[in-house]
A and B are shown apart, each in its own frame.
Chain A
Amino acid sequence: MATSDKIGAVMVVGGGISGLQSALDLADSGFKVYLVEKQPSIGGTMAQLDKTFPTNDCAMCIMAPKLVATGRHHNIELITNADIAKVDGQEGNFTVTGTQRALRVDASKCTGCGSCAQKCPIETTDEYNENTKVRKAIFVKYPQAVPLVYSIDQEKCIGCGICAEECKAEAVEYDQKESGFEIKVGSIIVSPGFDEFDARLKAEYGYGVYQNVVSSIEFERILSATGPYFGTVMRPSDGDIPEKIAFIQCVGSRDEKVGNEYCSGVCCMYSIKEAIIAKEHGGNIKPKIFFMDMRAFGKEFEEYYNRAQNEYGIEFVRSRIASVFEDPKTKNLVVKYVEKGEPKEEEFGLVVLAVGLTPPEDAETLSKVMKFGLNDDGFCQTGAFTPVSTSRPGVFVSGAFSSPKDIPMTVAEASGAAAKAASAIASARGTLVTKKEYPAEIDVSEQEARIGVFVCHCGINIGGVVKVPSVAEYARSLPNVVYAEENLYTCSQDTQEKIKQMVKEHNLNRVVVASCTPRTHEPLFQNTIKEAGLNPYLFEMANIRDQCSWIHLHEAAAATKKAKDLVRMAVAKSRLLESLENLTIDVNQQALVVGGGASGMVAALELAKQGVKVHLVEKEKELGGNLLKLHYLPSGDDPVEYVQSLSKEVASNQNITVYTGKKVKSIDGYVGNFKTTLESGEEIEHGTVILAVGAQEYKPEGEFLYGKNPGVMTLLEFKDKLKKGEVKGNTHAFIQCVGSREEGHPNCSRVCCTGTMTAAIKVKEKNPDAKVFVLYRDIRTYGFREKYYKDAAEKGVTFIRFDDGTKPTVEDKGGKIEVRVTDEDTGKEVLLTPDNLVLATGTRPSEGSEELAPMLKVPITKEGFFLEAHMKLRPVDFATEGVYVAGLAHGPKFLDESIGQGLAAVARAMTVLSKETLEAEGIVASLDETLCDGCGICVPTCEYKALEIVPDKKDEEKKTLDINIGLCKGCGACVGSCPSGALTQMGFSDEQIVAMIDAALEETVKNQEVKQ
């Protein structure tokens, strides 16, 4: 296809956390995005979660900024409440048609104030709260929903007309019809997420029959402060706080009977999280988790599991639950199980079923409409080397739709899919994005403040409590206020025009809006005054709705007084506001990739495909990394062949300069402007850095006779022998978790269980009579990898579980290996005399990570892996902008996951490299050099390493502070620490905040003066 045919737009299907990430990455790197969501609001499953593991972050807190950014992005168009009917065309040029179901509310008029729902007489079950709560027939999915537009549930609405009457914005349209849409896009990303397993299909647990048996997602809502019981852990039958809670794992996962043989990958961790949070909510709650294998395989997950046991006292019982019965009198539940061969019964107040992840309901429809393949389990089919590609070129996939996975892997894949989607249409970058033109800015620096105040009624949301006319009148009386008015809705489109008109008419040079919260509405008003020729930072808001009328509903006089105070405070700050300039930073559009393993090469190639000049530095003489030693993949694909083809592609790519056998000596600079020197002297200038330095297999010198008996070897060494046909003997024993999940290395190495299955299956395939023993603690073959565990067991591999505290012992009896292990199931000691003892050893960070980290001012974990900016939502970013991590350098992971992260790092890097200049935040720290004495107290307060003490250029004797605006995030922590008042936070200066304090207490001061 000719370049000119390509369309610089991407359709993302599904607005969960995956779709949000893909959309933001693409829109930030020069592509138009259509985000198509079947529900009226975006947010997906993550928006329903209370907390996230392993950091216990509040899900909504960390997600809301991404929701808002997506809703506001001028290059992202949301198409909600929509279904896709047809996808024609091919990679680079698709035509998509579909329908948007009627909301019965005019989205352009609805302000999201919620008056309609307050008065709607119809209550129905609330899907967002998993039916644990009620909502009205006119509703919004959740308070922070984007877009914040109400819609009418057609099935429940009785057409009484109350909402239409109540809506002062006249947004209700009962007769609204569905509408069709047609869009043209170059690439497509599908991320429809997953559905929860319907626990009714496991009738033996009584879900849907016994009131106090709930699913894990229902329990998530019960835990939530916005849930049915406002965060108090109560049981549905009687509102009692349950003393004992049972969590039953693998409901609908690892279960042939229900047809789901795969492991859902996330349930072990979310159950631990829910147990911990329940315990935090009520100290007397005693959670007990019934599980088969505890699969805490992710980064720092094992430590979380350990804390749950040791600090929170959560009990773990290894048993598959046979059945649950209700005591009809107490509504308590009797759980029957077998522990260490003994049948037991125990009573609980509440039972939580850890339901598995299933393909989304519309998986088949999507696959038919879009013409891509599904796998045997009904998820989207992907390949071992192509984790984010579907079977149809130009259509990519991310998130739980391709296999059950947790949020960080989902977010990484979402960025990865964005990179692939962008590469396919790289030549059309920038062709469909718009850049808004604004009038020239009026210089107000010499003008006295002329403030305009706009006070909002918000229908009756404010006006029903606060006397808005008197607030507007009061505003008029304040110094420097030259104009004030009241509006029915200050945020409506006609008011924006009015504001612009008033700025002109009255020569306003500051604008104050008294309405709702700046968190959602400040950008709208800032944009309005920008259109009127004012600097956007000359705007201030008074929150007289969320933080006044809504929380003092029955105190009209006090609320009105408070609203006046808030307006006075905003005006006081407004008087001192200054125009701020968003500084621009020039960007060097070349990239540095450190590490030439799979993830590094994947990243380099993908960057090169998008036209970026890449410098790839590898310390070894040959590209390839760990894959050269892996030999086998469980899927049967050949990793060596793959890595060799990558190496060839890299070597022949015009855009990539390869530096093999070379190490980085130093890296200086900041986003857009890095300068790297290699030990061999070469200097490279670049705008971003991707760290893909890999990791290594632990060599357990001295453990289990390793290095002493030639029959004892690591897993990679065994695979190497297997490949070369050098394995002797017919009996092989594997010991798992060598150098993982123990003191000093508390976390799981993630890949060793599956690696062992791969080797064991290979051995049995070569010689079905071979005897293979696997000594393990938990088998962690998560996701679809479960099938390799099953395959190994079916091929006759013997699995022996040993207790976490009792390692097997190994002795050398005249050259023969003797292994003794206590089988936890039988309690008996087993003696094995294998020809080969294979140690599945842990993953250790690469040598050199520790030297690289300080060069880039990025952190590493105590185990030595690079620590990303946020464990959930920024899996390949660092707090330091322009620096990214991928692959094993971030922690142990499989090849497909490393490839996904390599691609993700590309999408993140392209948000920088696709631009010639970057705009720095206007709200940053600034220094008055005449006041700074170079004491350096502020330096450690900066989490972004933006501050440095340097010699004063004017006076060699003195020292002063240097602020790197490229690194500053504008938190103001340094400003608060400065003892000499030399630092200022633009937009939140000492003067401005003090003016607000004084204004808030103005009358108090007056009283005091009277007294004196």
Chain B
Amino acid sequence: MHDLHYERPRTTAEACGLLAAAKGRAMILAGGTDLQIRLRDQPRAGLIVDIKKIPELCSIRPGAAGALEIGSAVTLRALIDDPTVGAAFPALALAALAVGSFQVRGRATLGGNLCNASPCMDTAPVLLLLGASLRLQSARGSRELPLTRFFTGVKRTLLEPDELCTTILIPAAARRLVTAFGKVKRVQGHDLALVNAAVSLDPEAETLGAAIGSAATTPVVCEPLTGVSSRSPDAALLGDALAGAALKVIQPIDDVRASAEYRRDMTAMLCRRLVREVVSGRRAS
């Protein structure tokens, strides 16, 4: 009854070979927390390519020119517990911590969270502001794509059917940013974001940026504020200005989780709240 196959390659090359041969009928299995639900609801046919046993996809390591490379199959739990990530990019760890339950974070992967491309994914806003890019590999070769260009719609990306996202790269320059993450949800326990947001202050370039999730078909980045002095910033003024910039780029809708109005107001609220955090260097409770 099922025309479903399962393969567990040991190398990226092997995985890419399988994807190429499957001619668009392959499904990449990382943590499985999204794929498994799709398998439950859809006809079961095609090739499952389980990438968890490919060592290079499961490591966090220094890359070229001071970049940090995170393998796409690194679990959110591993990301949260990683001391380098915690020290250099605490907002990324917080965003990962905002995903699902303890059980889910132990399986779900950073690459999966991004490639599944749900508009409410929690890890994208921070990574967008950090200037992250993705390394996409196929039997045809390898390319790097800035995350800002990756998402094209609800559950749609520029990932080709024969491509595998192997690595999330965070550039060295991101280390100087002061970044905060926030999420509005319905209960204290695990829930999808009604709105999530990251705000980032670049003390060198004197810019302040925001990225918002769950308020458009993809996460969106607003036009950054410039000339933001980090010496005596007025958080209230900056918060209002950033909220204004964010409201220009979001296109929220009414759905089962929240109204567009609430999403708009929470976008502005998160911008203001997160600006206070990055300016003060303290997490708002």
* A, B: real partners: no
Q: Which residues on B are within 8 Å of A, measured CB to CB?
A: none
A interface residues, Cβ below 8 angstroms from B: none
